Structure 1
Amino acid sequence: MLLGFKVMKWGLLICFLFEWAGPATVLCDYMSYVFMFLSIATSNMVATYLARGDKNQVQHQISILLFVGMTCGLLMLVFTRFFGSWALTAFSGPKNAQILPAANTYVQIRGLAWPAVLVGWVAQSASLGMKDSWGPLKALAVSSVVNGVGDVVLCSFLGYGIAGAAWATMVSQVIAGYMMIEALNKKGYNAFAISVPTLDEILTIIGLAAPVFVTMISKVAFYSLMIYFATSMGTHSVAAHQVMLQIMGMCTVMGEPLSQTAQSFMPELIYGVNRSLKKARRLLKSLVTIGSTMGLLLGTIGTFAPWLFPNIFTRDQKVIQEMYKVLLPFFMAIAVTPSIHCLEGTLLAGRDLRFLSFSMTGCFSLGTVALMLFSSRGYGLPGCWYALVGFQWARFFLSLRRLLSLDGVLFSEDLSRYEMEKLKVN
């Protein structure tokens, strides 16, 4: 399953990061999610032009998006180098000053891979937009093995601790980025051809990427707020929260291929040369069925792991007790996540971006109010997780209602939302 090999990375890093690098993982992993707009824009544009049979535009889109990815990666490298420590200090608060040196070490090392990560995402998304998952799969498999072996050697045998975990992850990301580019080259496209976009092209990309960016930043901001409130509750709460959040990450990453499947196959059915909304609805029904089954399975496994085998993650009984308090909302949040991937992936494929950005912003606003309310009333860590449950299920119902509406992308015959300004080829 595509992206499933990321599970190894999450699992091996839990023991190193759950207590000492909570803020660091926010800056590294969650900040990377902000740039998912780049990945989504790439797969969307590539799938769109392939559906229209325009391979020259596919190459051009890849070239300009590689430039955008490289530029964003260099900017993030500079930000991490000069502002990483400041961001960690502002986020973690005075109660956790003891974790800042280790967390900053992790962030500085991981930050070296930013250009490779974002360029690799563009190349990977271009391949997925072409309905090819084997190239990205092999790249992720190799990088996961490198990451796992590096963690064991650098942390367990050489004693580099959190710095070793960061170096292992950074090197694996660089390797993955290079392999993604090579996989794209083997399909007959030049992934080393980077073109500076014109102003019109930048505006076109912004028109597609901006709503996606708003969607991703809302999601990242909500998870960051969860960690912020958990951090303010003390060391045991933030440690338990980080363990449960990492387990959730291992579970929810398994549902990401459903979103990518929708983004790869739906454009052809919704607005391609041989469009068929009936087949698109049938595909969505199959994806949601798979997602619901997967959600229940992953939720069950993910809940039983910390319930029956908590010592795998920590031997601190106070941390374990905090983990037990959130098992029910933990299950409820995971169970619906794969289905959300299906629905939001279909909305992305159908270019219903304005609705997606507005709905995500609304969910974030209501979720933030719930977090503040639960925190002020002393509900502790369970309050944070029940706010997450509301956030997830609100996303599910809003997306489902939109897709089932008569003016939604799966029923409406209006193609105006799919019209794109033809980009100039240099």
Structure 2
Amino acid sequence: MLITPKDREILRLAVPAFGALVAEPLFLLADYAIVGHGLGTTAVGALGVAGTVLATLVNLCVFLAYGTTASVARQTGAGNHTRAMRSGVDGIWLALGIGALLIAVCWPLAPAIVELFGAAEGQGAQAVTYLRISLIGAPGMLVVLAGTGVLRGLQDTVTPLVVAIGSFVLNAALNAWFVLGLGWGIAGSAWGTVIAQTLGAAVYLAVVARGARRLGTPLTPGLAGVKEAGTAGFALLVRTLCLRVVLLAATVIATRMGEAELAAYAIATQVWTLLAFALDAIAIAGQAITGRSLGAGDVASTRAATRRMVQWGIWSGVLLGLLVVAARPLLPGLFDTDPQVTDLLLALMWPVAAFQPVCGVVFVLDGVLIGAGDQRYLAWAGVWTTLAYLPAALLASGFGVVALWCALGVWMLARLVSLVRRAAGTAWLVTGA
């Protein structure tokens, strides 16, 4: 495939974004590997439950990154650099406030939240421990989201890559030390992640503060701006809530199938998430490029970039699917799974691989429409595609964990149809600041 100037622009943003995005699920993958080797299947299942809860809480707030990327990129394209930075600062203050609220609300409710999954007694107690400790890092996790959004909107995906790599290395080292060295159990895994995420957030705060001082942007919260950031993110919240309902429903069904099924499903979910973040790198480029080009009023460039990114998404999905097939025999050994979990995990990798090309198109178009500020459509599309998934999941619950994963494929196909239909139209091509 001939590399064009448009490809170079996409790759300039997508390649560093790929590294940063892949580092995020590697946090939990490292936890799974260390916990699996040191603590066994019960602890892996507990980590699967607590990790799903934490991922839900954080992903419900992903508008802090996506909404900030779109608004900062659009203002940057329109030449309003001070206003772009003001949006970023307000987004970070909103992140700190939401993080504090999550601690206050979810800490006392942790046992009830875990109980909703129906985990076995040993798994439930460990899941509560991991969840409560991890909540301490919630403000840091959300600041990382908002800070990443600011830098992506400014067309900088290199700094988030550097921070992500540093955080991942520190997280893996601390987890190995606390769990395997000091024998802190699953609590050690949680503390290692909290420390790494909080230090990563401190780096983002320093970078954004330096940029704000250079542009003369106040670092104090602007109440109107914070409110605007929260209001603009509501539609993205609905969209993300629909995504999490799908993944939560699947986890609950897998939990009720048994410990081995839950452990295999939890590991497969982390592999799928790793692949999703890899494909989402092109979507991140889509957010930044779409916001900037529409802010500058360039519809033709937006269309051309979208077509090219879809092509990149398809070929990237094919490549990742082939890599999953090639790596399939190695995965059980990585997580030290028992024979029953091994058999289930090997079976799950086939549908995981098969749906990667579909995921490539879905994630790219999702990113393009987010960058365009088309959140209202994405919210409604999320509702309808979730309604398409739930009957398929209920039907699959009687046929095992592989059938449950195929139901996720039904959901991805429904998302593909809704996004392709929207991208083919013109309603999302709104120009100007």
User: Does TM-score exceed 0.5, indicating one fold?
Assistant: yes
User: Where does 1:103-142 land on structure 2 (aligned, <5 Å)?
Assistant: 103-142=127-166
2:369 is aligned to: 347
1:149 to 164, 167, 173: 173
1:335 aligns with 2:357: yes
1:287 aligns with 2:313: no
Q: Which residue identity lines up with residue 278 of structure 1 in the other structure?
A: A
SS of the equivalent of 1:159 reads coil
Distance 1:82 1:303 in 2: 43
User: Where does 1:208-287 land on structure 2 (aligned, <5 Å)?
Assistant: 208-270=232-294, 272-273=295-296, 275-287=297-309
Kept in 1: contact 2:239–2:378 (CA 8 A) = yes
Q: Which has the higher contact order (CA 8 A, sep 6+)?
A: 2
In structure 2, relative to structure 1, the CA distance for the partners of 1:351 and 1:373 (3 Å cut) is same
- 1:185: how far off? 3.0
Distance 1:167 1:380 in 2: 34
1:40 is aligned to: 66
- 1:68: how far off? 1.4
- 1:342: how far off? 1.1
Distance 1:327 1:179 in 2: 37
2:27 is aligned to: 9
Kept in 2: contact 1:136–1:183 (CA 8 A) = no
- 1:82: how far off? 1.1
2:85 to 59, 62, 65: 59
Worse-superposed segment, 95-104 or 308-317: 308-317
In structure 2, relative to structure 1, the CA distance for the partners of 1:190 and 1:269 (3 Å cut) is same
Kept in 2: contact 1:181–1:191 (CA 8 A) = no
1:388 aligns with 2:408: yes
Q: Which residue identity lines up with residue 381 of structure 1 in the other structure?
A: V
1:169 is aligned to: 193
Kept in 2: contact 1:248–1:302 (CA 8 A) = no
SS of the equivalent of 1:185 reads helix
1:102-149 deviations in whole A, cap 9, x for unaligned? 111111111101111212221221011000112211111111111011
In structure 2, relative to structure 1, the CA distance for the partners of 1:102 and 1:324 (3 Å cut) is same
SS of the equivalent of 1:18 reads helix
Kept in 2: contact 1:110–1:167 (CA 8 A) = yes
In structure 2, relative to structure 1, the CA distance for the partners of 1:301 and 1:190 (3 Å cut) is farther
Kept in 1: contact 2:93–2:226 (CA 8 A) = no
How many residues are treated as equivalent by the alignment? Answer: 405
Kept in 2: contact 1:263–1:346 (CA 8 A) = yes
Worse-superposed segment, 366-375 or 205-214: 205-214
Kept in 1: contact 2:89–2:208 (CA 8 A) = no
Kept in 1: contact 2:317–2:356 (CA 8 A) = yes
SS of the equivalent of 2:406 reads helix
1:398 is aligned to: 418
Distance 2:355 2:197 in 1: 28
Distance 1:391 1:58 in 2: 35
Distance 2:60 2:86 in 1: 24
Distance 2:177 2:356 in 1: 32
- 1:7: how far off? 5.1
- Note the residue ranges of structure 2 that are not aligned, 5 or more in a row: 1-15, 36-42
1:143-199 deviations in whole A, cap 9, x for unaligned? 11110111221122222221111111111100110111222234335898131413x
Percentage of matched positions with identical amino acids: 20
Distance 1:176 1:102 in 2: 26
Kept in 2: contact 1:303–1:330 (CA 8 A) = no
Q: Which residue identity lines up with residue 127 of structure 2 in the other structure?
A: A
SS of the equivalent of 1:326 reads helix
Distance 1:307 1:126 in 2: 40
Q: Which residue identity lines up with residue 333 of structure 1 in the other structure?
A: F
Q: Which residue identity lines up with residue 27 of structure 2 in the other structure?
A: K
- 1:334: how far off? 3.1
2:6 is aligned to: none
- 1:329: how far off? 1.8
1:358 is aligned to: 380
1:424 is aligned to: none
Kept in 1: contact 2:91–2:226 (CA 8 A) = no
Distance 1:299 1:190 in 2: 47
Kept in 2: contact 1:43–1:129 (CA 8 A) = yes
1:303-328 deviations in whole A, cap 9, x for unaligned? 43333542222341111222233233
Q: Which residue identity lines up with residue 98 of structure 1 in the other structure?
A: G
In structure 2, relative to structure 1, the CA distance for the partners of 1:358 and 1:191 (3 Å cut) is same
- Note the residue ranges of structure 1 that are not aligned, 5 or more in a row: 421-426
- 1:206: how far off? 4.5
TM-score, normalisation: structure 1: 0.89
- 1:71: how far off? 0.9
Distance 2:200 2:293 in 1: 31
Kept in 2: contact 1:89–1:97 (CA 8 A) = no
- 1:339: how far off? 2.4
1:300 is aligned to: 322
In structure 2, relative to structure 1, the CA distance for the partners of 1:40 and 1:139 (3 Å cut) is same
Kept in 2: contact 1:218–1:360 (CA 8 A) = yes
Distance 2:107 2:51 in 1: 16
Q: Which residue identity lines up with residue 44 of structure 1 in the other structure?
A: A
In structure 2, relative to structure 1, the CA distance for the partners of 1:123 and 1:26 (3 Å cut) is same
Greater fraction of residues in helix: 2
1:86 aligns with 2:112: yes
Kept in 2: contact 1:211–1:354 (CA 8 A) = yes
In structure 2, relative to structure 1, the CA distance for the partners of 1:103 and 1:402 (3 Å cut) is same
Distance 1:204 1:183 in 2: 23
User: Where does 1:397-416 land on structure 2 (aligned, <5 Å)?
Assistant: 397-405=417-425, 407-410=426-429, 415=430
Distance 2:283 2:184 in 1: 37
- 1:203: how far off? 5.8
Q: Which residue identity lines up with residue 210 of structure 1 in the other structure?
A: F
In structure 2, relative to structure 1, the CA distance for the partners of 1:140 and 1:202 (3 Å cut) is closer
